[in-house]
Amino acid sequence: MAHDLGFWTLQALNALQLSMLLFLLSIGLTVIFGLMHFVNLAHGSLYALGAYFAASLAAVGGYWMGFFLAPVAVAGVGVLLYSGLIKRMRKSGPMAQVLVTFGLIFAMLDLTRIFWGDLALGIEVPALLDGRLAFLGVEYPTYRLFIIALGLAIFAALAFVLARTQIGAMIRAGVDNDAMAACLGINVERLFFMVFCFGCALAGLAGAVAAPLLSVTPDMGLQILIPTLIVIVIGGLGSLKGAVSGSLIYGFVQTFGAVLAPQLASVLIYALLAAVLVIKPVGLFPAKG
């Protein structure tokens, strides 16, 4: 089948949209890791929780209520997790962290089932973002353009905060050497706490944004976890640049793989990951050399 330029533009937009959704998820995970050396496998469960909160809130007060409040609610869960579990697990090895958060996946999966049931839920796209826009010569769903724009805006905001503000400098100092940063009078504990909650809020936001696009099911967190991990491992743990490049690589390989080599689409991304790990065992843009 020969395809015209419009077709490829459409696919590129699809790839970009998927990348931005993954970016929202992976940035939280990767910054938490970079700063705290903490591996949160339950990050996907927070995303699912965000989608469920958004679905419940949207039923009460419409889409925008879910959009704005779901991240706050998930950040609230983050506060509970941090003070109950994460704080004490900080100094444990990666294996203990993997296991505790693995336990959290189990627990949160069943908790969502208990609270929201097994039936899939859905949210409507808000009227403002319904329909399609003509863009680069193709008609593209407005909501997907909104996701792309949101992802880019958050990327720009984070890049600005990290590079230009005092809090950004503190975070960078913490990533480089947390002990030294603490010596310089930075309250590292409080910094960790804030970053963790912010990462959770971004996961919740990703869930709220994905909910109208996909279906809200108890296992959505498990489904998104592996792609998110692939993104941050390819990109390199702990860096903004890594998260964004990993997301783009994943989004484009997945989308164009599905179009050009459907039989290989899902194995392709794992093969790419293995290749990256062989050539650069710490990913493309790790936070530290």
Partner 1 sequence: MKRATLAALGLATSFAMPAAAEDIKVGLLLPFSGVYAALGNEIEAGFNLALEQFGDETDATFEIIREDTEVKPPVALGKAKKLILQDDVDVIAGIVSSGVLGAVRDMVHGAGVPLIVANAGNDEATGADCSPFITRMSFSNSQVNRPMGTWMHEQGIGKVYTLAPDYAAGHQMIDAFTASFTAAGGEVVGQEFTPFQKTQDFGPYLAQAKASGADAVYVFYAGGEAISFVKQYDSFGLKAELPLYGSGFLTSPLYVNAEGPAAEGVITALHYVPTIDSTANAVFADAFTAANGRVPSEFAVQGYDAARALIEATKTGASDRASLANALRNVKFEGPRGTLSIDPATNNVIQPIYVYETVAGEDTLTQKVLAQLPAEADPVNGCEMAPVSN
Partner 2 sequence: MFRHNALRYAVLALLAAGALFQALTAEYFGLEILTEILILAMLVLALDIVAGFGGMVSLCHGALMGVGAYTYAILSTKAGIAPPVAMAGSIALTGVAAWVIGAICSRSHGIYFIMATLAFGQMAYSYVFEAPIFGGDDGLGGISRLDLSFIGVDLNDSRSFALFCLALLAAIYVASVLILRSGLGRSLSGVMHNEQRMRALGLTVWRVKADVFGLSGMIAGLAGALAAQHILYISPGLLSWTVSGEALVVVILGGLGTLVGPLVGAAAFVVLKHELSAVTTYWHLVVGVILIAVVMSRANGVFGWFESRWGDRIERRMADATRKQQSEEVLTDA
| 15 within 8 A of 251, measured Cβ to Cβ | yes
Site string for partner 2, 26-65 (x = CB under 8 A): -------x-----x--------------------------
Going from the C-alpha of 226 to that of each of 26, 34, 69, 249, 267, the distances in angstroms are: 11, 19, 26, 15, 13
Q: Is 125 in the site for partner 1 (CB under 8 A)?
A: yes
Q: Considering only the stretches 126-134, 179-187, 191-199, 230-238, report the one whose residues sit in contact with partner 2 under the rule CB under 8 A.
A: 230-238
The only residue of 237, 243, 248, 249 in contact with partner 2, by rule CB under 8 A: 237
The only residue of 203, 230, 243, 244 in contact with partner 2, by rule CB under 8 A: 230
Q: What is the distance between the alpha carbons of residues 43 and 104, in angstroms, rounded to a whole number?
A: 10
Q: What is the distance between the alpha carbons of residues 82 and 46, in angstroms, rounded to a whole number?
A: 13
Q: Is 110 in the site for partner 2 (CB under 8 A)?
A: yes
Which residues does 113 contact at the CB level (< 8 Å), separation at least 6?
218
Q: What is the distance between the alpha carbons of residues 211 and 107, in angstroms, rounded to a whole number?
A: 21
Angle of CA points 53, 159, 24, to nearest 5°: 25
Q: What is the distance between the alpha carbons of residues 72 and 64, in angstroms, rounded to a whole number?
A: 13
Going from the C-alpha of 55 to that of each of 50, 123, 208, 221, 286, the distances in angstroms are: 9, 6, 8, 15, 36
Which of partner 2, partner 1, none binds 223 (CB below 5-8 Å, type-dependent)? partner 1
Task: Give min distance, CB of 266 to partner 1, in A.
Answer: 5
| 236 within 8 A of 26, measured Cβ to Cβ | no
The only residue of 89, 197, 210, 220 in contact with partner 2, by rule CB under 8 A: 89
Q: Is 51 in the site for partner 1 (CB under 8 A)?
A: no
The only residue of 64, 115, 219, 271 in contact with partner 1, by rule CB under 8 A: 219
Q: Is 274 in the site for partner 2 (CB under 8 A)?
A: yes
Would you tell me which residues interact with partner 2 (CB under 8 A)?
A: 33, 39, 85, 88-89, 92-96, 98-100, 102-111, 113-114, 222, 226, 229-230, 233, 237, 263, 266-267, 270-271, 273-274, 277-278, 281-283
